[in-house]
Structures are given as structure tokens and as C-alpha cells.
Amino acid sequence: MRGASASRTTWSTILMALQWHGSRSDEGYFLLGIVIEKVTGESYADYMRKTFFEPLGMAQTHLLDQNRIVPHLARGYAWKNGKLKRNRRVWNFAVTSNFGVMSSLDDMMRWEAELSHAKVIDSQAMKATWEIQRVFDTDESCDTWGYARGWLVRIVDGHPILSHGGYSGTAYLRFIDSGLSVIALSNREDAPGELSPVDMTWEIAHAVDASIPADGYHCED
């Protein structure tokens, strides 16, 4: 499937040429996986397992493998044309550096503990993932905001807030300075009229700290 991913770079090039406000691009992360395989001489899945998952005790975390029997696996669903259907990405890919990590809430808590107090991950490299690469137009409710290296970052009163959502119905929200983090895992894609996992994380954060808006910080100008 590498050719299929690489063929989409033309569309990404067009978007960049048009200077769109922002657009999700899988190609960069896909190519990064290829680079990791070239440098390490290992498959991307093996590299992630040996370097991160095993040292952190994340026994329920692995890269997507349709041949693998996964106990208690939650299949993904989506509302399409008024009907609940299985969502996409149910075939095997050679490299899944742009998506495809399977995990559990227990393992995600282990991952969050590592992000909060790094022992395996290089702390400077981790902080570099918070650096905004594409700055968006910002209103007065935020200092600035934009897309960093894998995170959507909002800077509010000097405090960085990191977030990211997943197509399968997941969301991750981190308040770096306060240490508050919220992880939401579901198996349903966003749907019109339904509470999204991203919205859910903001409401939970508000329940913990009333100073945080229940509907999140809207930084758009």
C-alpha cells in the first residue's frame, strides 16, 4: 500500500500551494516510518514495540495487524446514510506510521505517565513535538495556536494545551503546566448531532477545573 499513500502527495502539494488554513496530511508521517525502517533495519512495528511499548509495559499496545487475534478488541463503527456500519482501514498495510496503533485505556495511562515524566523518551525531542509548525489565524481568546508535530497546540495565557483526535472515535487532551490530561476512547466515528470524543474531553476537563471552558478554547479568528 506504499504506492497508494505516495500517490496522494500530489493533492497535498496542491493544498500547500493554495495556502489553505490547514489540512490533515498522512504522507509526512508515512514517510517518517519509511525513514525509521531504513535507519534501524527493522520494521516500523518492531521498532515501536522494542523502543517504546515493551519498556513502558504497554502489553496491550501494538501496530495494526489484521492477522492478529486481539482479545476484547473493540471494532470501529460509523454512521453512514443513517445506518451504523463498519468503518474503514480493515486491511493490512506494510507501514502504519501515519495511523494504526491499537491500545487500551490502561496502556494509554502508562503512555501519559511517560509523557509527564519521561524515562524512555528523550525529553527534548518530546518538547519539540509541541512546537507549532503551521500557525493559524488567532483571535484574542488564545495567544496563538496551530499544528505542531502530531499535536494541535493552543497557547492560552502562556500555557500550552495539546490535543488530538482519531478517526475511530478517540481524543487526547493535555494541559502541560497543570498536569491535567484527559483520554477518551470510543469505537464510533464523529457523527452530526452526536457528542464527539474531542468535545467529551473538554467537558471532562471543565468538570475537573471550572476555569476551563466546557466547549474548549476556540482560537479561530
Lowest mean pLDDT among 8-22, 58-72, 151-165, 191-205: 8-22
Task: Give yes or no: residues 136 and 37 share one domain.
Answer: no
In a domain, 122, yes or no: no
Who has greater pLDDT, 66 or 104? Answer: 104
In a domain, 124, yes or no: no
Indicate if the pLDDT at residue 139 is higher than 90.
no
Indicate if the pLDDT at residue 127 is higher than 90.
yes
In a domain, 123, yes or no: no
Indicate if the pLDDT at residue 77 is higher than 80.
yes
Q: Are 169 and 78 in contact (CB under 8 A)?
A: no
Who has greater pLDDT, 31 or 2? Answer: 31
Task: Give yes or no: residues 68 and 5 share one domain.
Answer: yes
* Predicted TM-score of the model (pTM): 0.83
In a domain, 180, yes or no: yes
In a domain, 22, yes or no: yes
| pLDDT tens by residue, 91-112 | 656 667 777 788 999 999 999 9
Task: Give yes or no: residues 19 and 111 share one domain.
Answer: yes
Computed over its alpha carbons, how large is the radius of gyration of the chain?
Answer: 18
| Residue 4 pLDDT | 45
Task: Give yes or no: residues 89 and 149 share one domain.
Answer: no
Task: Give yes or no: residues 111 and 134 share one domain.
Answer: no
| pLDDT tens by residue, 11-49 | 455 555 545 455 567 788 888 889 999 999 999 999 999
Q: Which of 29, 192, 11 is nearest to 99 (CA)?
A: 29
| Residue 90 pLDDT | 59
pLDDT (average), residues 157-186: 93
Domain of residue 2, CATH code: 3.40.710.10
* Residue 152 in grid coordinates: 494541535
φ/ψ of residue 184, rounded to 5: -120, 125
Strand (E) positions, 51-207?
62-63, 77-80, 83-86, 101-102, 134-135, 144-147, 152-156, 159-166, 170-175, 181-185
Of 90, 117, 144, the domain-final residue: 117
Task: Please give the mean pLDDT across all residues of the chain.
Answer: 85
Task: Give yes or no: residues 92 and 18 share one domain.
Answer: yes
Of 117, 144, 178, the domain-final residue: 117
Number of structural domains in the chain: 2
Q: 209: burial class by Cβ within 10 Å (0-12, 13-18, 19+)?
A: exposed
Of 68, 90, 117, the domain-final residue: 117
Residue-range definition of the domain harbouring residue 44: 1-117
Task: Give yes or no: residues 13 and 111 share one domain.
Answer: yes
* Residue 207 in grid coordinates: 468538570
Task: Give yes or no: residues 21 and 83 share one domain.
Answer: yes
Residue written as cell 488530538? Answer: 164
